[in-house]
Structure 1
Amino acid sequence: MFSKLTKRGFCTAISSRPWLFVGLGNPGEKFRGTRHNVGFEMIDVFAESVGIPMNRVHCKAVFGEGFVGDIPVFLAKPQTYMNLSGESAGPLAAYYKLPLNRVLVFHDDMTLPCGVLRLQHNGGHGYHNGLKSVISHFRGNREFARLRIGIGRPPGQMDPKAFLLQKFNNTAQERIDTALQEGVGALKLLLSHSLFESARHFNHEQKYKHIRLQTMPV
């Protein structure tokens, strides 16, 4: 991969510096399709859309690498289980010597309605244990981007942990499928423009979706 990067101007063109996209989730069939695994799903949908095979294991992650246009992209799904995601994300960023402003983490978010996305430049962990682990392995540095994928709040008095490990019902899954395709568009925009410009444009569109969906049950 690095010989290809050099040939395609990796060493000289700032605009073509690699991005590392990390989707958070839990490995194993029993977790497939659960709310806590939408970060994995986002990686899979994006990888398929740009033709990057996820066919390696690297730094405790299912891993793929390729180009989107002239931009090198690394894709990772840590296999450490959610609460230890940083054990993969930290070494990956270090291995490729990437500054954290070239790292983007995809994760589920209960504070957003199901199917609403947000692209952020940085932030805290918001009690998300996967993000907490990533931040810890970035030595406390929070200056990396996130794609927050709304999964909605637990109904009634339901235990949030149980809610996270449930699969989506049909209505919610339709919203998530639509959101993941919107996420692909946002990521492609990010790779061809700046993060700030992409986030401003994308979040403006998602704001109106948020208003529309927040009162609709799933």
Structure 2
Amino acid sequence: MSVFDIFAKLDREKTAKAAQPIEWLVVGLGNPGAKYEGTRHNAGFRALEGYCSRTGQKIDKIKYKALIGEGMLGGARVLFMKPQTFMNLSGEAVRDAAAFYNIPPERVIVLSDDISLDVGALRVRAKGSAGGQNGLKNIIQHLGTDEFPRVKIGVGQKPHPEYDLADWVLSRFTADEQQAIDKACADAVDAAACIISKGCPAAAQEFNGKRVK
């Protein structure tokens, strides 16, 4: 095969992929702006940003009140999304994109922080309540259902009961926590890929509780 044939083949593959419809939404939750970068509440953003860094995926177009990018994950064509509303209005972007692409809730995967899990732990769920996470709560409100998959990324519990919850989720990870949260964020996107290719039960079995060794 000549070099021209190779490039022609790559062009055909690229065109074929681009022609595939968007089948899934993969949404990372966080608050926009430099003020919130690296905070516990931005674990969903961090997961997608890490994925972009590793793979070259772009999430840089503005639409649906979000930064978006089309790509392949788990063998399907997906729309990656980082809502640019604040956390408690995340559902607006998810609702609009899901409606445009006619994507049902069971194909909307949300990556979010979870204060009930230790830093670095994951929990895959096919459905369920918001558990006090305001972004999930707003998505449930706008989709009209809690039956959408989510990958919860552990960010640790408050150090003591009197600690203000808002202050805690807007705090940054300690130096000792960085390796664990980076690994969990990478695993979170892998878990989303597993949900797409194998389903939630398989992803939960493989990733729930996963920690840095």
Q: TM-score range by the shorter chain?
A: 0.7 to 0.9
Give, in whole Å, the separation in 2 of the partners of 1:4 and 1:94.
24
Q: What is the CA–CA distance in structure 2 between the aligned matches of 1:194 and 1:121, rounded to whole Å? A: 9
Structure 1 contact 54–64 (Cα < 8 Å) conserved: yes
Q: Is the 8 A contact 1:86 1:134 kept in 2?
A: yes
Mapped to 2, the partners of 1:20 and 1:115 lie a distance apart of 23
Residue identity matched to 1:89: V
AA in 1 matched with 2:51: F
- Counterpart Cα distance in 2 of 1:125 and 1:82: 13
Partner of 1:78: 83
Report deviation, 1:187. 2.7
Normalising by structure 1, we get a TM-score of 0.83
Cα displacement string for residues 31-71 of structure 1 (whole angstroms, at most 9, x for unaligned residues):
00001101111111223344321120110001110123641
Aligned residue in 2 for 1:145: 149
Q: Deviations over 1:115-159 (max 9, x none)?
A: 1011110100111111111111112x0110011011111112211
Q: How many residues align?
A: 198
Candidates 49, 61, 65, aligned match of 2:66: 61
The 5 A counterparts of 1:54-203 are: 54-68=59-73, 70-139=75-144, 141-156=145-160, 157-203=162-208
Correspondence for 1:48: 53
Letter in 2 for 1:128: Q
Deviations 1:134-193 (A, max 9, x none): 111112x01100110111111122111101111111012221012112223323333332
Give the equivalent residue in structure 1 for 2:10. Answer: none
Distance 1:198-1:72 versus aligned 2 partners, 3 A rule = same
Tell me, in whole angstroms, the C-alpha distance in 2 between the residues paired with 1:117 and 1:69. Answer: 18
- Per the alignment, in what secondary structure is the counterpart of residue 168 of structure 1? coil
Residue pair 1:102, 1:144 contacting (<8 A) in 2 also: yes
Percent identity, aligned pairs only?
39
Instruction: Evaluate the alpha carbon distance shift between residue 24 and residue 68 of structure 1 in structure 2; reply closer, same or farther with a 3 A threshold.
Output: closer
SS in 2 for 1:85: helix
Q: Distance in 2 between matches of 1:4 and 1:97?
A: 21
Cα distance between partner residues in 1 of 2:156 and 2:77: 33
**Cα distance in 1 between the residues matched to 2:52 and 2:194:** 15
**Within 2, Cα distance between the matches of 1:152 and 1:109?**
7
The question of whether the paired residues in 2 share the 8 Å contact of 1:23 and 1:106 is answered with yes
Q: Which runs of 5+ in 2 are unaligned?
A: 1-14
TM-score, normalised relative to structure 2? 0.85
Structure 1 runs, 4 residues or longer, greater than 6 Å off: none
Name the residue aligned to 1:14.
Answer: none
Tell which structure's C-alpha radius of gyration is larger.
2
CA RMSD across the alignment: 2.1
Secondary structure of 2:51 counterpart: helix
Check 1:78–1:6 CA distance in 2 against 1; reply closer, same or farther (3 A cut).
closer
| Structure 1 stretches lacking a partner, 5+ long | 11-16, 213-218
